[in-house]
Amino acid sequence: MTEPYATIAEPAFRAVPARRPELLERILSDPRMRRHAQGLLSCVQCGICTSGCPAARFGDYSPREISRRARDGDPTLLEDDSVWLCFYCYTCQSRCPQGNSVAVINQIIRGLQVESGYGLRHVAMFTAWNEQFYATGLGGWPHQLLGDIADIWGERWWHLVEHLDELRERLGVGSLFPSEEAMGELRTILDATGSRERLQAPAS
Amino acid sequence: MAPTTTPHIAPITSGVELFRSCLVSTQYPGVEAATRWLFEQLDVEYEVNPAQTCCTGLGYYTDVVSFPTTVAVAARNACVAVEAGHPVQAYLCSTCYAINKKAHEALEDPEQRRRTNRVLGRVGRRYDHKVAGAVEHRHVLEILWSRHPSIRGLVRRRLAGIKVATHPACHYCKVFPDEVLGDSEDLMLPEDLLQPTGVTSTGYYPEKATHCGAGFRQRFVNPAMSMAVTREKLRRLAEQRVDVCVHMCPNCHVQFDRFHDVISQTAAEDYPFVHLHVQQLLALALGADPDTVCGVEAHSQDLEPFLERIGARE
Protein backbone atom coordinates (compact mmCIF):
# COMPACT_ATOMS: atom_id res chain seq x y z
CA MET A 1 0.00 0.00 0.00
CA THR A 2 1.37 3.36 -1.00
CA GLU A 3 1.77 5.92 1.72
CA PRO A 4 -0.39 8.85 0.55
CA TYR A 5 1.93 11.38 2.13
CA ALA A 6 4.98 10.04 0.30
CA THR A 7 4.18 12.00 -2.87
CA ILE A 8 4.44 15.75 -3.20
CA ALA A 9 2.70 17.59 -6.00
CA GLU A 10 4.60 19.77 -8.43
CA PRO A 11 4.43 23.45 -7.47
CA ALA A 12 1.66 25.05 -9.46
CA PHE A 13 3.20 28.50 -9.32
CA ARG A 14 6.67 27.59 -10.49
CA ALA A 15 6.46 30.07 -13.37
CA VAL A 16 6.16 33.43 -11.70
CA PRO A 17 4.23 35.80 -13.97
CA ALA A 18 6.24 38.49 -15.69
CA ARG A 19 6.04 41.59 -13.56
CA ARG A 20 6.78 45.14 -14.33
CA PRO A 21 6.99 47.06 -11.08
CA GLU A 22 7.06 50.28 -13.07
CA LEU A 23 3.58 49.58 -14.49
CA LEU A 24 2.18 48.98 -11.00
CA GLU A 25 3.97 52.10 -9.82
CA ARG A 26 2.53 54.08 -12.75
CA ILE A 27 -1.00 52.97 -11.85
CA LEU A 28 -0.60 53.59 -8.12
CA SER A 29 0.85 57.07 -8.58
CA ASP A 30 -1.85 58.25 -11.01
CA PRO A 31 -3.90 61.10 -9.46
CA ARG A 32 -7.13 59.24 -10.33
CA MET A 33 -6.03 56.40 -8.02
CA ARG A 34 -5.66 58.70 -5.03
CA ARG A 35 -8.57 57.08 -3.20
CA HIS A 36 -7.94 53.62 -4.66
CA ALA A 37 -4.21 52.84 -4.53
CA GLN A 38 -4.42 51.04 -1.20
CA GLY A 39 -7.49 49.25 -2.50
CA LEU A 40 -5.57 47.81 -5.44
CA LEU A 41 -2.71 46.73 -3.19
CA SER A 42 -5.15 45.02 -0.83
CA CYS A 43 -7.34 43.36 -3.48
CA VAL A 44 -8.26 39.91 -2.16
CA GLN A 45 -9.72 38.68 -5.47
CA CYS A 46 -13.16 38.27 -3.90
CA GLY A 47 -14.85 38.92 -7.24
CA ILE A 48 -17.58 41.30 -6.08
CA CYS A 49 -16.42 43.60 -8.91
CA THR A 50 -17.11 40.87 -11.46
CA SER A 51 -20.45 39.78 -10.02
CA GLY A 52 -21.97 43.22 -10.65
CA CYS A 53 -20.17 44.04 -13.90
CA PRO A 54 -22.36 44.34 -17.02
CA ALA A 55 -19.40 43.65 -19.33
CA ALA A 56 -18.57 40.47 -17.41
CA ARG A 57 -22.21 39.42 -17.65
CA PHE A 58 -22.64 40.02 -21.36
CA GLY A 59 -19.06 40.09 -22.69
CA ASP A 60 -15.68 38.37 -22.40
CA TYR A 61 -14.25 40.54 -19.68
CA SER A 62 -13.31 40.15 -16.00
CA PRO A 63 -12.54 43.10 -13.75
CA ARG A 64 -11.18 40.66 -11.17
CA GLU A 65 -8.58 39.51 -13.70
CA ILE A 66 -7.69 43.10 -14.57
CA SER A 67 -7.17 43.84 -10.89
CA ARG A 68 -4.94 40.79 -10.44
CA ARG A 69 -2.86 41.62 -13.48
CA ALA A 70 -2.58 45.29 -12.48
CA ARG A 71 -1.42 44.20 -9.01
CA ASP A 72 1.19 42.01 -10.72
CA GLY A 73 2.27 44.86 -12.99
CA ASP A 74 1.58 42.48 -15.89
CA PRO A 75 2.90 44.26 -19.03
CA THR A 76 0.51 42.33 -21.31
CA LEU A 77 -2.18 44.75 -20.06
CA LEU A 78 -0.59 47.33 -22.35
CA GLU A 79 -1.69 45.26 -25.34
CA ASP A 80 -4.87 43.80 -23.90
CA ASP A 81 -8.08 44.38 -25.82
CA SER A 82 -10.51 43.31 -23.07
CA VAL A 83 -10.00 46.54 -21.12
CA TRP A 84 -11.92 48.22 -23.96
CA LEU A 85 -15.09 46.34 -22.95
CA CYS A 86 -15.50 48.23 -19.65
CA PHE A 87 -18.61 50.45 -19.60
CA TYR A 88 -17.07 52.87 -17.06
CA CYS A 89 -20.18 52.42 -14.91
CA TYR A 90 -18.06 52.21 -11.73
CA THR A 91 -20.15 49.40 -10.25
CA CYS A 92 -16.87 47.58 -9.47
CA GLN A 93 -15.56 50.62 -7.61
CA SER A 94 -18.71 51.40 -5.66
CA ARG A 95 -19.05 47.84 -4.37
CA CYS A 96 -15.39 46.99 -3.74
CA PRO A 97 -14.96 46.34 0.00
CA GLN A 98 -11.27 47.27 -0.26
CA GLY A 99 -11.77 50.57 -2.09
CA ASN A 100 -10.18 49.46 -5.35
CA SER A 101 -11.37 50.83 -8.71
CA VAL A 102 -10.97 48.70 -11.81
CA ALA A 103 -12.91 51.37 -13.75
CA VAL A 104 -10.11 53.83 -13.00
CA ILE A 105 -7.37 51.25 -13.68
CA ASN A 106 -8.96 50.71 -17.11
CA GLN A 107 -8.93 54.44 -17.79
CA ILE A 108 -5.20 54.51 -17.02
CA ILE A 109 -4.43 51.40 -19.11
CA ARG A 110 -6.46 52.64 -22.08
CA GLY A 111 -4.69 56.00 -21.88
CA LEU A 112 -1.29 54.28 -21.90
CA GLN A 113 -2.39 52.18 -24.88
CA VAL A 114 -3.47 55.31 -26.77
CA GLU A 115 -0.21 57.06 -25.98
CA SER A 116 1.91 54.08 -27.13
CA GLY A 117 -0.09 53.93 -30.38
CA TYR A 118 -1.46 50.43 -29.69
CA GLY A 119 -4.84 51.71 -28.60
CA LEU A 120 -5.36 54.20 -31.42
CA ARG A 121 -7.46 51.74 -33.44
CA HIS A 122 -9.83 51.49 -30.48
CA VAL A 123 -10.42 55.24 -30.43
CA ALA A 124 -10.26 55.96 -34.17
CA MET A 125 -14.01 56.49 -34.49
CA PHE A 126 -14.10 58.91 -31.56
CA THR A 127 -11.42 61.33 -32.77
CA ALA A 128 -14.30 63.20 -34.47
CA TRP A 129 -15.47 64.09 -30.98
CA ASN A 130 -12.13 65.71 -30.22
CA GLU A 131 -12.20 67.73 -33.43
CA GLN A 132 -15.77 68.92 -32.81
CA PHE A 133 -14.87 69.95 -29.28
CA TYR A 134 -11.85 71.90 -30.49
CA ALA A 135 -13.87 73.64 -33.18
CA THR A 136 -17.04 74.44 -31.21
CA GLY A 137 -16.50 73.90 -27.49
CA LEU A 138 -19.46 71.56 -27.56
CA GLY A 139 -19.40 67.86 -26.82
CA GLY A 140 -22.41 65.75 -27.80
CA TRP A 141 -22.23 63.01 -30.39
CA PRO A 142 -20.87 64.17 -33.76
CA HIS A 143 -23.25 63.04 -36.48
CA GLN A 144 -20.55 61.17 -38.38
CA LEU A 145 -20.24 58.93 -35.31
CA LEU A 146 -23.84 57.87 -35.40
CA GLY A 147 -23.86 56.00 -38.74
CA ASP A 148 -26.22 53.05 -38.47
CA ILE A 149 -27.67 54.37 -35.24
CA ALA A 150 -29.15 57.39 -37.03
CA ASP A 151 -31.04 54.99 -39.32
CA ILE A 152 -32.32 53.00 -36.37
CA TRP A 153 -33.40 56.14 -34.51
CA GLY A 154 -35.32 57.07 -37.63
CA GLU A 155 -37.36 60.02 -38.87
CA ARG A 156 -38.26 61.39 -35.48
CA TRP A 157 -34.65 61.80 -34.55
CA TRP A 158 -33.72 63.37 -37.90
CA HIS A 159 -36.55 65.81 -37.34
CA LEU A 160 -34.92 66.84 -34.06
CA VAL A 161 -31.51 67.26 -35.72
CA GLU A 162 -32.96 69.43 -38.48
CA HIS A 163 -35.12 71.56 -36.17
CA LEU A 164 -32.92 71.72 -33.07
CA ASP A 165 -32.32 75.46 -33.33
CA GLU A 166 -36.05 76.21 -33.64
CA LEU A 167 -36.85 73.95 -30.69
CA ARG A 168 -34.15 75.59 -28.57
CA GLU A 169 -35.50 79.00 -29.46
CA ARG A 170 -39.05 77.99 -28.50
CA LEU A 171 -37.70 76.69 -25.18
CA GLY A 172 -35.68 79.87 -24.58
CA VAL A 173 -32.46 78.05 -23.76
CA GLY A 174 -30.10 80.33 -25.71
CA SER A 175 -27.04 79.51 -27.76
CA LEU A 176 -25.64 76.01 -28.06
CA PHE A 177 -22.11 77.32 -27.93
CA PRO A 178 -19.87 79.05 -25.39
CA SER A 179 -18.74 82.64 -25.97
CA GLU A 180 -15.92 83.38 -28.44
CA GLU A 181 -13.71 84.42 -25.56
CA ALA A 182 -14.31 81.11 -23.80
CA MET A 183 -13.55 79.26 -27.02
CA GLY A 184 -10.20 81.04 -27.32
CA GLU A 185 -9.28 80.04 -23.78
CA LEU A 186 -10.43 76.48 -24.36
CA ARG A 187 -8.29 76.08 -27.50
CA THR A 188 -5.26 77.42 -25.66
CA ILE A 189 -5.81 74.84 -22.91
CA LEU A 190 -6.30 72.02 -25.42
CA ASP A 191 -3.11 73.03 -27.24
CA ALA A 192 -1.13 73.42 -24.01
CA THR A 193 -2.13 69.93 -22.84
CA GLY A 194 -1.39 68.34 -26.23
CA SER A 195 -4.96 67.21 -26.66
CA ARG A 196 -4.88 66.72 -30.43
CA GLU A 197 -1.27 65.58 -30.81
CA ARG A 198 -2.03 62.77 -28.40
CA LEU A 199 -4.19 61.09 -31.02
CA GLN A 200 -1.50 61.10 -33.70
CA ALA A 201 0.38 57.84 -34.23
CA PRO A 202 3.81 58.11 -32.56
CA ALA A 203 6.78 58.24 -34.94
CA SER A 204 8.35 54.79 -34.99
CA MET B 1 -48.16 58.41 1.85
CA ALA B 2 -44.78 56.78 2.35
CA PRO B 3 -42.24 58.86 4.28
CA THR B 4 -39.26 60.11 2.30
CA THR B 5 -35.81 58.77 3.14
CA THR B 6 -33.56 61.24 1.31
CA PRO B 7 -31.50 63.27 3.82
CA HIS B 8 -32.55 66.89 4.19
CA ILE B 9 -30.07 69.57 3.13
CA ALA B 10 -30.04 73.31 3.74
CA PRO B 11 -31.92 75.32 1.09
CA ILE B 12 -29.78 76.43 -1.85
CA THR B 13 -31.46 79.59 -3.16
CA SER B 14 -28.74 81.62 -4.85
CA GLY B 15 -25.32 81.57 -6.45
CA VAL B 16 -26.26 78.68 -8.75
CA GLU B 17 -24.60 78.24 -12.14
CA LEU B 18 -26.75 75.93 -14.24
CA PHE B 19 -23.94 74.00 -15.94
CA ARG B 20 -24.85 73.37 -19.57
CA SER B 21 -24.65 69.75 -20.72
CA CYS B 22 -23.77 68.83 -24.31
CA LEU B 23 -26.18 65.90 -24.39
CA VAL B 24 -29.04 67.85 -22.83
CA SER B 25 -28.38 70.74 -25.22
CA THR B 26 -28.35 68.61 -28.36
CA GLN B 27 -30.71 65.73 -27.50
CA TYR B 28 -33.24 66.91 -24.92
CA PRO B 29 -33.11 70.71 -24.54
CA GLY B 30 -36.47 70.49 -22.75
CA VAL B 31 -34.64 69.04 -19.76
CA GLU B 32 -32.74 72.33 -19.39
CA ALA B 33 -35.86 74.40 -20.01
CA ALA B 34 -37.84 72.39 -17.42
CA THR B 35 -35.01 72.83 -14.90
CA ARG B 36 -34.92 76.60 -15.44
CA TRP B 37 -38.70 76.70 -15.06
CA LEU B 38 -38.51 74.74 -11.79
CA PHE B 39 -35.74 76.98 -10.46
CA GLU B 40 -38.00 79.97 -11.12
CA GLN B 41 -41.00 78.29 -9.45
CA LEU B 42 -38.89 77.39 -6.42
CA ASP B 43 -37.13 80.78 -6.17
CA VAL B 44 -33.65 79.50 -6.94
CA GLU B 45 -31.51 82.36 -8.26
CA TYR B 46 -29.29 81.02 -11.04
CA GLU B 47 -27.44 81.94 -14.19
CA VAL B 48 -26.25 80.19 -17.33
CA ASN B 49 -22.70 81.32 -17.97
CA PRO B 50 -21.59 81.66 -21.62
CA ALA B 51 -17.98 81.44 -20.40
CA GLN B 52 -18.57 77.82 -19.35
CA THR B 53 -17.40 75.15 -21.79
CA CYS B 54 -18.34 71.48 -22.05
CA CYS B 55 -16.85 69.28 -19.31
CA THR B 56 -15.07 66.92 -21.79
CA GLY B 57 -16.97 63.94 -20.31
CA LEU B 58 -17.87 62.15 -23.53
CA GLY B 59 -14.34 62.68 -24.88
CA TYR B 60 -12.70 61.57 -21.65
CA TYR B 61 -14.83 58.45 -21.33
CA THR B 62 -14.28 57.50 -24.98
CA ASP B 63 -10.57 57.82 -24.18
CA VAL B 64 -9.77 60.59 -26.68
CA VAL B 65 -9.25 63.28 -24.02
CA SER B 66 -6.51 62.87 -21.42
CA PHE B 67 -7.06 63.35 -17.72
CA PRO B 68 -4.73 66.40 -17.50
CA THR B 69 -6.81 68.10 -20.23
CA THR B 70 -10.03 67.25 -18.40
CA VAL B 71 -8.68 68.60 -15.11
CA ALA B 72 -7.53 71.85 -16.76
CA VAL B 73 -10.93 72.38 -18.41
CA ALA B 74 -12.70 71.66 -15.11
CA ALA B 75 -10.39 74.04 -13.24
CA ARG B 76 -11.11 76.79 -15.76
CA ASN B 77 -14.85 76.21 -15.50
CA ALA B 78 -14.60 76.43 -11.70
CA CYS B 79 -12.69 79.70 -12.03
CA VAL B 80 -15.32 81.30 -14.28
CA ALA B 81 -18.18 80.14 -12.01
CA VAL B 82 -16.55 81.64 -8.92
CA GLU B 83 -15.60 84.81 -10.80
CA ALA B 84 -19.22 85.29 -11.86
CA GLY B 85 -20.42 84.97 -8.27
CA HIS B 86 -22.28 81.73 -9.01
CA PRO B 87 -19.98 79.11 -7.48
CA VAL B 88 -22.59 76.35 -7.05
CA GLN B 89 -22.13 74.38 -10.26
CA ALA B 90 -25.44 72.58 -10.79
CA TYR B 91 -25.21 69.64 -13.18
CA LEU B 92 -27.96 68.41 -15.48
CA CYS B 93 -25.79 65.45 -16.42
CA SER B 94 -24.36 62.91 -13.99
CA THR B 95 -21.16 62.62 -16.01
CA CYS B 96 -20.57 66.39 -15.75
CA TYR B 97 -21.15 65.96 -12.00
CA ALA B 98 -18.69 63.08 -11.63
CA ILE B 99 -15.95 64.43 -13.84
CA ASN B 100 -15.91 67.87 -12.23
CA LYS B 101 -15.83 66.32 -8.77
CA LYS B 102 -13.04 63.98 -9.85
CA ALA B 103 -11.05 66.94 -11.16
CA HIS B 104 -11.72 68.83 -7.91
CA GLU B 105 -10.35 65.85 -5.99
CA ALA B 106 -7.24 65.65 -8.19
CA LEU B 107 -6.63 69.38 -7.71
CA GLU B 108 -6.35 68.85 -3.96
CA ASP B 109 -2.91 67.43 -4.71
CA PRO B 110 -0.35 70.31 -4.76
CA GLU B 111 1.58 68.85 -7.69
CA GLN B 112 -1.58 68.46 -9.81
CA ARG B 113 -2.67 71.96 -8.94
CA ARG B 114 0.75 73.35 -9.84
CA ARG B 115 0.76 71.60 -13.24
CA THR B 116 -2.79 72.68 -13.97
CA ASN B 117 -2.07 76.27 -13.01
CA ARG B 118 0.86 76.30 -15.40
CA VAL B 119 -1.70 75.62 -18.17
CA LEU B 120 -4.29 78.04 -16.78
CA GLY B 121 -1.64 80.74 -16.58
CA ARG B 122 -1.68 80.89 -20.38
CA VAL B 123 -5.27 82.11 -20.25
CA GLY B 124 -4.66 84.38 -17.28
CA ARG B 125 -6.44 82.22 -14.73
CA ARG B 126 -5.50 80.47 -11.51
CA TYR B 127 -7.19 77.71 -9.54
CA ASP B 128 -6.22 78.75 -6.02
CA HIS B 129 -7.52 78.03 -2.53
CA LYS B 130 -10.22 80.69 -2.95
CA VAL B 131 -11.64 78.98 -6.02
CA ALA B 132 -11.23 75.51 -4.50
CA GLY B 133 -12.94 76.65 -1.31
CA ALA B 134 -15.80 78.47 -3.00
CA VAL B 135 -16.81 76.09 -5.79
CA GLU B 136 -19.50 73.53 -4.99
CA HIS B 137 -20.51 70.58 -7.14
CA ARG B 138 -24.21 69.65 -7.09
CA HIS B 139 -26.50 67.57 -9.21
CA VAL B 140 -29.54 69.68 -10.19
CA LEU B 141 -31.77 67.24 -8.28
CA GLU B 142 -29.91 68.12 -5.09
CA ILE B 143 -30.70 71.81 -5.60
CA LEU B 144 -34.37 70.95 -6.20
CA TRP B 145 -34.39 68.66 -3.16
CA SER B 146 -33.06 71.50 -1.01
CA ARG B 147 -36.28 73.36 -1.91
CA HIS B 148 -38.63 70.38 -1.66
CA PRO B 149 -40.83 71.67 1.19
CA SER B 150 -42.16 74.25 -1.29
CA ILE B 151 -43.20 71.70 -3.90
CA ARG B 152 -46.45 70.47 -2.33
CA GLY B 153 -48.15 73.84 -2.57
CA LEU B 154 -47.22 74.23 -6.25
CA VAL B 155 -48.72 70.99 -7.62
CA ARG B 156 -51.26 71.72 -10.38
CA ARG B 157 -51.63 68.28 -11.95
CA ARG B 158 -51.77 65.47 -9.42
CA LEU B 159 -50.09 62.31 -10.62
CA ALA B 160 -52.23 59.97 -8.49
CA GLY B 161 -52.18 56.46 -9.89
CA ILE B 162 -48.94 56.99 -11.80
CA LYS B 163 -46.30 54.42 -10.87
CA VAL B 164 -42.74 55.72 -11.05
CA ALA B 165 -39.39 53.92 -10.99
CA THR B 166 -36.01 55.57 -10.73
CA HIS B 167 -33.13 54.68 -12.99
CA PRO B 168 -30.27 55.83 -10.73
CA ALA B 169 -27.46 57.32 -12.81
CA CYS B 170 -24.19 55.45 -12.29
CA HIS B 171 -22.02 58.55 -12.44
CA TYR B 172 -24.08 60.15 -9.69
CA CYS B 173 -24.30 57.04 -7.50
CA LYS B 174 -21.09 55.09 -8.01
CA VAL B 175 -18.19 57.47 -8.57
CA PHE B 176 -18.58 59.15 -5.17
CA PRO B 177 -21.00 56.73 -3.45
CA ASP B 178 -20.34 58.22 -0.01
CA GLU B 179 -21.48 61.65 -1.18
CA VAL B 180 -24.83 60.57 -2.65
CA LEU B 181 -27.98 62.01 -1.10
CA GLY B 182 -29.33 58.70 0.13
CA ASP B 183 -28.41 55.09 -0.60
CA SER B 184 -26.20 54.64 -3.68
CA GLU B 185 -27.67 51.15 -4.27
CA ASP B 186 -31.27 52.29 -3.81
CA LEU B 187 -31.43 55.96 -4.69
CA MET B 188 -34.76 57.50 -3.66
CA LEU B 189 -33.95 61.15 -4.41
CA PRO B 190 -35.98 61.27 -7.67
CA GLU B 191 -39.00 59.46 -6.20
CA ASP B 192 -38.87 61.49 -2.99
CA LEU B 193 -38.82 64.71 -5.03
CA LEU B 194 -41.92 63.52 -6.88
CA GLN B 195 -43.72 62.27 -3.78
CA PRO B 196 -45.78 65.47 -3.23
CA THR B 197 -47.28 65.02 -6.70
CA GLY B 198 -49.08 61.87 -5.58
CA VAL B 199 -47.09 59.31 -7.59
CA THR B 200 -46.67 55.72 -6.43
CA SER B 201 -42.99 54.75 -6.12
CA THR B 202 -41.49 51.34 -6.80
CA GLY B 203 -38.71 51.97 -4.29
CA TYR B 204 -36.16 49.21 -4.62
CA TYR B 205 -36.61 46.71 -7.45
CA PRO B 206 -34.33 43.92 -8.71
CA GLU B 207 -31.40 45.39 -10.64
CA LYS B 208 -32.30 48.95 -9.73
CA ALA B 209 -28.58 49.78 -9.71
CA THR B 210 -27.84 48.06 -13.04
CA HIS B 211 -26.75 50.64 -15.53
CA CYS B 212 -28.30 51.80 -18.78
CA GLY B 213 -26.04 49.99 -21.24
CA ALA B 214 -24.68 53.08 -22.99
CA GLY B 215 -21.13 52.71 -21.66
CA PHE B 216 -19.87 55.56 -23.86
CA ARG B 217 -18.01 53.61 -26.57
CA GLN B 218 -20.01 50.39 -26.07
CA ARG B 219 -23.20 51.79 -27.62
CA PHE B 220 -21.26 52.37 -30.83
CA VAL B 221 -18.58 49.67 -30.81
CA ASN B 222 -20.31 46.72 -29.12
CA PRO B 223 -24.01 47.27 -29.80
CA ALA B 224 -25.10 43.70 -28.96
CA MET B 225 -23.56 43.91 -25.48
CA SER B 226 -24.93 47.42 -24.99
CA MET B 227 -28.46 46.40 -26.03
CA ALA B 228 -28.37 43.30 -23.80
CA VAL B 229 -27.83 45.46 -20.72
CA THR B 230 -30.56 47.91 -21.71
CA ARG B 231 -33.01 45.08 -22.43
CA GLU B 232 -32.34 43.54 -19.03
CA LYS B 233 -33.25 46.81 -17.35
CA LEU B 234 -36.36 47.30 -19.49
CA ARG B 235 -37.58 43.82 -18.52
CA ARG B 236 -37.08 44.52 -14.83
CA LEU B 237 -38.99 47.79 -15.14
CA ALA B 238 -41.81 46.03 -17.00
CA GLU B 239 -42.05 43.48 -14.17
CA GLN B 240 -42.71 46.39 -11.82
CA ARG B 241 -45.64 47.54 -14.01
CA VAL B 242 -44.39 51.10 -13.98
CA ASP B 243 -45.97 53.91 -15.99
CA VAL B 244 -42.83 56.01 -16.19
CA CYS B 245 -39.14 55.52 -15.55
CA VAL B 246 -37.45 58.75 -14.49
CA HIS B 247 -33.88 59.69 -15.40
CA MET B 248 -31.23 62.01 -14.05
CA CYS B 249 -28.62 61.70 -16.80
CA PRO B 250 -29.06 62.51 -20.51
CA ASN B 251 -26.87 59.62 -21.66
CA CYS B 252 -29.13 57.13 -19.83
CA HIS B 253 -32.12 58.99 -21.25
CA VAL B 254 -30.80 58.68 -24.82
CA GLN B 255 -30.18 54.98 -24.30
CA PHE B 256 -33.67 54.24 -22.98
CA ASP B 257 -35.80 56.68 -24.93
CA ARG B 258 -34.15 56.17 -28.33
CA PHE B 259 -33.76 52.37 -28.07
CA HIS B 260 -36.94 51.50 -26.13
CA ASP B 261 -39.07 50.74 -29.21
CA VAL B 262 -36.13 49.25 -31.13
CA ILE B 263 -35.45 46.70 -28.39
CA SER B 264 -39.14 46.04 -27.86
CA GLN B 265 -39.53 45.12 -31.54
CA THR B 266 -36.27 43.15 -31.78
CA ALA B 267 -36.92 41.16 -28.61
CA ALA B 268 -40.69 40.93 -29.25
CA GLU B 269 -41.32 42.10 -25.69
CA ASP B 270 -43.72 44.75 -24.47
CA TYR B 271 -42.43 47.46 -22.18
CA PRO B 272 -45.56 49.53 -21.58
CA PHE B 273 -44.07 52.64 -20.01
CA VAL B 274 -42.33 55.88 -20.95
CA HIS B 275 -39.09 57.63 -20.03
CA LEU B 276 -38.89 61.19 -18.76
CA HIS B 277 -36.32 63.22 -16.94
CA VAL B 278 -37.19 63.81 -13.27
CA GLN B 279 -37.33 67.55 -13.93
CA GLN B 280 -39.72 67.09 -16.86
CA LEU B 281 -42.18 64.99 -14.84
CA LEU B 282 -41.96 67.32 -11.85
CA ALA B 283 -42.49 70.37 -14.07
CA LEU B 284 -45.52 68.71 -15.71
CA ALA B 285 -46.99 68.05 -12.26
CA LEU B 286 -46.47 71.71 -11.37
CA GLY B 287 -48.39 72.74 -14.48
CA ALA B 288 -45.64 73.27 -17.08
CA ASP B 289 -46.45 73.09 -20.77
CA PRO B 290 -45.26 69.82 -22.34
CA ASP B 291 -44.09 71.54 -25.55
CA THR B 292 -42.79 74.97 -24.63
CA VAL B 293 -41.25 73.97 -21.28
CA CYS B 294 -40.56 70.22 -21.42
CA GLY B 295 -39.73 69.99 -25.14
CA VAL B 296 -41.32 66.56 -25.56
CA GLU B 297 -40.97 66.64 -29.35
CA ALA B 298 -37.28 65.76 -28.93
CA HIS B 299 -38.20 62.35 -27.53
CA SER B 300 -38.22 59.23 -29.69
CA GLN B 301 -41.03 57.59 -27.74
CA ASP B 302 -44.62 58.65 -28.32
CA LEU B 303 -45.46 60.45 -25.08
CA GLU B 304 -48.94 61.61 -26.11
CA PRO B 305 -51.00 58.85 -24.39
CA PHE B 306 -49.08 59.47 -21.16
CA LEU B 307 -49.50 63.25 -21.42
CA GLU B 308 -53.26 62.78 -21.98
CA ARG B 309 -53.49 60.47 -19.00
CA ILE B 310 -51.95 63.03 -16.64
CA GLY B 311 -54.11 65.83 -18.02
CA ALA B 312 -51.34 67.70 -19.80
CA ARG B 313 -53.24 67.65 -23.12
CA GLU B 314 -56.55 69.33 -22.44
Pairing verdict, β B16-19 and B88-91 = parallel
Residues A87 and A62 in one domain: yes
pLDDT band at A146 (very low <50, low <70, confident <90, very high): confident
- Tell me, what's the pLDDT at B305? 98
The DSSP H or E segment spanning A187 is helix A180-192
First-residue to last-residue Cα distance in chain B: 28
Interface test with B, best of A27, A107, A195, A196 (most B CBs within 10 A): A195
Q: Burial letters for B104-125: b for 16+ Cβ neighbours within 10 Å, e otherwise? A: bbbbeeeebbebbbebbeebeb
- Smallest Cα distance from B87 to chain A, Å: 17
Contact B177 A94 (CB under 8 A): yes
Cβ neighbours of B267 (radius 10 Å):
14
Residues of chain B neighbouring A84 (CB-CB closer than 8 A)? 217, 221
Annotate B171-200 with DSSP letters as a single string.
Answer: HHHTSSGGGSSS-TTS--HHHHHHGGGTPE
Residues A108 and A132 in one domain: no
Q: Structure pTM? A: 0.95
Q: Report how far residue A29's alpha carbon sits from residue A147's, in angstroms, rounded to the nearest whole number.
A: 39
**Residue where one domain finishes, among candidates A66, A98, A118:** A118
Q: Which residues pair with B138 in a beta bridge?
A: B90
- Smallest Cα distance from A156 to chain B, Å: 6
Within a domain: A46:
yes
Q: Report how far residue A195's alpha carbon sits from residue B70's, in angstroms, rounded to the nearest whole number.
A: 10
Is the minimum CB–CB distance between A198 and chain B shorter than 8 Å? yes
Q: Report how far residue B217's alpha carbon sits from residue A193's, in angstroms, rounded to the nearest whole number.
A: 23
Alpha helices in chain B (DSSP H): 22-27, 29-41, 57-61, 67-83, 94-106, 110-120, 129-134, 140-146, 170-173, 189-194, 217-221, 223-239, 250-267, 278-285, 304-309
pLDDT single digits (tens) A91-131: 999 999 999 999 999 999 999 999 999 999 999 999 999 99
List CB contacts of B268: < 8 A, sequence separation 6 or more: none
Q: Report how far residue A163's alpha carbon sits from residue A160's, in angstroms, rounded to the nearest whole number.
A: 5
Which residues 7-66 of chain A have a CB within 8 Å of chain B?
30-32, 34-35, 52, 54-55, 57-59
pLDDT single digits (tens) A33-82: 999 999 999 999 999 999 999 999 999 999 999 999 999 999 999 999 99
ipTM above 0.90, yes or no: yes
- Sign of torsion, CA B18 B24 B26 B28? negative
Residues A28 and A84 in one domain: yes
Residues A114 and A136 in one domain: no
- Tell me, what's the pLDDT at A13? 66
- Tell me, what's the pLDDT at A150? 83
- Tell me, what's the pLDDT at A92? 98
pLDDT single digits (tens) A165-185: 999 999 999 999 999 999 999
- Tell me, what's the pLDDT at A151? 84
Residues of chain B neighbouring A171 (CB-CB closer than 8 A)? 29-30, 32-33, 292-293, 295
Nearest to B281 by CA among B34, B46, B92, B39: B34
- Tell me, what's the pLDDT at A141? 83
Contact B229 A152 (CB under 8 A): no
Residues A179 and A97 in one domain: no
The DSSP H or E segment spanning A110 is helix A102-116
- Tell me, what's the pLDDT at A1? 62
Is the minimum CB–CB distance between B209 and chain A shorter than 8 Å? yes
Report the number of secondary-structure helices (H) and strands (E) in chain A: 12, 0
Which residues 113-142 of chain A have a CB within 8 Å of chain B?
114, 119, 122-123, 125-127, 129-130, 133, 137-141
First-residue to last-residue Cα distance in chain A: 66
pLDDT surpasses 60 at A204: no
pLDDT surpasses 60 at A10: yes
Within a domain: A97:
yes
- Tell me, what's the pLDDT at A144? 73
Question: A147: domain range?
Answer: 125-199
Within a domain: A4:
no
- Tell me, what's the pLDDT at B223? 94
Residues A149 and A189 in one domain: yes
Q: Report how far residue B237's alpha carbon sits from residue B273's, in angstroms, rounded to the nearest whole number.
A: 9
- Total residues belonging to chain B: 314
Residues A51 and A132 in one domain: no
In total, how many domains does chain A have? 2
What chain B holds in terms of domains, given with CATH numbers, is: 16-141 (1.20.1050.140), 153-309 (3.40.50.11810)
Cβ neighbours of B10 (radius 10 Å):
6
Q: What is the pLDDT along chain B (314 residues), one digit of tens a residue?
A: 568 899 999 999 999 999 999 999 999 999 999 999 999 999 999 999 999 999 999 999 999 999 999 999 999 999 999 999 999 999 999 999 999 999 999 999 999 999 999 999 999 999 999 999 999 999 999 999 999 999 999 999 999 999 999 999 999 999 999 999 999 999 999 999 999 999 999 999 999 999 999 999 999 999 999 999 999 999 999 999 999 999 999 999 999 999 999 999 999 999 999 999 999 999 999 999 999 999 999 999 999 999 999 999 97
- Sign of torsion, CA B90 B95 B101 B106? negative
- Smallest Cα distance from A58 to chain B, Å: 6
Contact B44, B13 (CB under 8 A): yes
Contact B226, B218 (CB under 8 A): yes
Nearest to B170 by CA among B207, B221, B225: B207
Is the minimum CB–CB distance between B262 and chain A shorter than 8 Å? yes
The DSSP H or E segment spanning B165 is strand B163-166
Residues A104 and A129 in one domain: no
